[in-house]
Amino acid sequence: RLSPFPKDFLWGSASAAYQVEGAWDKDGKGPSVWDEFVRIPGTTFKETNGDVAVDHYHRYKEDVALMAEQGLKAYRFSIAWSRVLPTGRGEINEQGLQFYDDLIDELIAHNIKPVVTLYHWDIPQGLQDAYGGWESRQIIEDFTTYAAILFERFNGRVHHWVTLNEQNVFISHGYQLAYHPPGVSDEKRMYNANHNANLANASAINKFRELGTSGKIGPSFAYGPNYAIDAHPKNELAALNAEEFNANFWMDIYVWGEYPKAIFHWLEEQGWAPEILPGDTELLKKGKPDFMGVNYYRTMTNAFNPIDGVGHGKMNTTGEKGTSEEKGVPGLFKIQDNPYLEKTNWDWEIDPTGLRIGLRRIASRYRLPILITENGLGEYDSLTDDKEIHDEYRIDYLRQHSLAIQEAITDGVEMLGYCTWSFTDLLSWLNGYQKRYGFVYVDREENDEKELKRYKKDSFYWYQKTIKENGAN
Ligand code: BGP
């Protein structure tokens, strides 16, 4: 028998500034690293970028009206740091800050709780140029100052704050796989940047508490359980390695201020361990979050990997099924196909049971409430002649995943809410506009970019009903 969803469960949806706003250089906004990176030929799918995105900056009222029509209880969005501080520090750009002020007021006026992400990958180019962004300890102070501006301005109106979105992704894609800016492939630099990000995260959380900001704060982490391909003990060990490497390494530090020993030891052997200075551990331990934000898309299945020197895999950024190559880490694990799971056209496993397992693992390891800050299905959608979108595949996906959440609640996991990815269609960082996630279709194909008309998909109505009934239907 399933327990009901809590009464105040946040049925929400999500986005990120660079992926929806557009207006990349309007009203005093400075460039972010993404604004620059997409201008380097070959860095993104078909040279698409977020210059206009879905023009949420100018159409936020129309978008919020759609959210209200759907009955959303929460909307997660991110603040573009370089809109508020054009070079990352110094003078505030009041016009940029005012945009978020207006958006927050608009949401509240429609009974939608704002869930605010401080950082969703768009570090100001000014900080990258000045000192290499996350690679310098200066980022700790600058991120904290930026965060404090937002805490003070929006205190009392925002009750859920997300510090860093998917640190595991922006660090590994930025400094190892080179898919994201700054496009580096150097593990020593990667683990140093990561350590600075951990310190910045903890410092911002400390600042939040010092200022007496109301509400709850935590990071959003991209998590999926790591399975063993079979019960061979070496494969079980590989799955444990993968869980420690892909998950515990990142989340333990948030909660306990310490890296898991086995992985830290492995990093030391590679010569990649970050330098931990006096005072770091104290700061990290003080920065414990109130909740764990979880972005869940897929699981990974692993086998023993004795090979040395295997290169990195290749992501499917085209939507051509079967084009990704997953490799793993020599000595720790290698990634395998899971024979029980279907995949999307972008080769991501569809695994609602994995969500239940993941929520259970996080809840029992960290004893924190969980807010799902992203989960959804990226697929091709098509607009019919009657301007409808029959995305029953997305309804099916979301129904199964919301049932998995309900099962986790029944298992005793404290769940704060479910923010699906995404509300409107938006830019996928590496896949352009063809990989769609939204409840609201944004038409870029038939109209010119300036039109960007919104159409409600079938999934829009399905979620509307789910919210109304406070549970999957
Ligand atoms: C997460 C990001 C989101 C979003 C989502 C879907 O990693 O936090 O910003 O993009 O994944 O990913 P993709 O666009 O690659 O399909």
pLDDT tens profile 221-246:
999 999 999 999 999 999 999 999 99
Which SS3 state, helix, strand or coil, does residue 458 take? helix
Which residues are 119's β-sheet partners?
164
The more confidently predicted of residues 87 and 327 is 87
pLDDT at 447 over 50: no
pLDDT of residue 131: 98
Section 114-128 average pLDDT: 98
Complex ipTM, two decimals?
0.98
Q: What is the mean pLDDT of residues 447-458?
A: 83
For the record, the structure tokens of 255 come out as: 């909660």
Angle at 305 between CA 304 and CA 308, to 5 degrees: 160
pLDDT at 325: 80
Calculate ∠ Cα 432-436-439, nearest 5°: 145
pLDDT tier, 106 (very low <50, low <70, confident <90, very high otherwise) = very high
Give dist(CA 182, CA 179) in Å, integer.
9
Mean pLDDT on 49-59: 96
386-396: average pLDDT = 97
Cβ atoms 296, 374 nearer than 8 A: yes
- pTM beyond 0.90, yes or no: yes
Q: Is 135 a catalytic residue?
A: no
Quick one: which atom of ligand 1 is closest to the CA of 220? Answer: 8
- Our answer on whether the CB atom of 219 is closer than 6 Å to any ligand 1 atom is no
Ligand 1 mutation target, pool 173, 297, 380, 429, most atoms within 8 A of CB = 429
pLDDT in tens, 257-307: 999 999 999 999 999 999 999 999 999 999 999 999 999 999 999 999 876
**Reported confidence tier of residue 35, pLDDT bands at 50, 70, 90:** very high
Nearest residue by C-alpha to atom 9 in ligand 1? 16
Average pLDDT over residues 215-220: 98
- CB burial of 241-264 (b: ≥16 within 10 Å; e: otherwise) equals bbbbbbbbbbbbbbbbbebbeebb
Token pair 């306990």 is found at 256
Of 83-97, 278-292, 433-447, the least confident: 433-447
> What is the bridge-based pairing of β-strands 328-329 and 333-336?
antiparallel
Q: Look at residue 473 in the predicted model and tell me its pLDDT.
A: 65
- pLDDT of 310 reads 52
Give yes or no for residue 433 having a pLDDT over 80.
yes
Task: Tell me how far apart the alpha carbons of residues 231 and 224 are, in angstroms, rounded to a whole number.
Answer: 19
Q: Quick check: 10 pLDDT over 90?
A: yes
Percent of the chain scored above 90 by pLDDT? Answer: 90
Decide: 280 in ligand 1 pocket, CB within 6 A: no
Structure tokens given for 95: 């016009």
16 close to ligand 1 (CB < 6 Angstrom): yes
> What percentage of the chain's residues is helix, strand, coil (to nearest 5)?
40, 15, 40
pLDDT for 248 beyond 90: yes
Report the pLDDT value the prediction gives residue 472, as an integer from 0 to 100.
Answer: 74
Strand order in the sheet with 300-303: 226-228, 300-303, 333-336, 328-329
With the most atoms of ligand 1 within 8 angstroms of its CB, the residue from 428, 431, 433 to mutate is: 428
Dihedral, CA of residue 390, residue 391, residue 392 and residue 393, to nearest 10: 150
Q: pLDDT tier at 448 (50, 70, 90 boundaries)?
A: low
Distance of CA 79 to the CA centre of its chain: 13
Pocket test for ligand 1, best of 117, 164, 173, 374 (most atoms within 8 A of CB): 374
Ligand 1 atom closest to Cα of residue 166: 8
- Going from the Cα of 421 to the center of ligand 1, the distance in angstroms, rounded, reads 8
Kindly state the average pLDDT of the residues 101-114: 98
Whether 419 contacts 363, CB under 8 Å:
no
Please work out, in degrees rounded to the nearest 5, the angle formed at the alpha carbon of residue 124 by the alpha carbons of 122 and 128: 110
Contact criterion met (CB below 8 Å) for 253 and 281: no
CA distances from 386 to 349, 382, 389, 455 (A): 32, 11, 9, 11
Which of these, 319, 459, 473, lies nearest to 391 by C-alpha position?
Answer: 459
Q: What is the rounded CA–CA span in Å between residue 353 and residue 141?
A: 41
Question: pLDDT class for 309, splitting at 50, 70, 90?
Answer: low
> pLDDT tens, 310-340?
566 788 888 888 888 878 888 899 999 999 9
The stretch 345-354 carries a mean pLDDT of 96
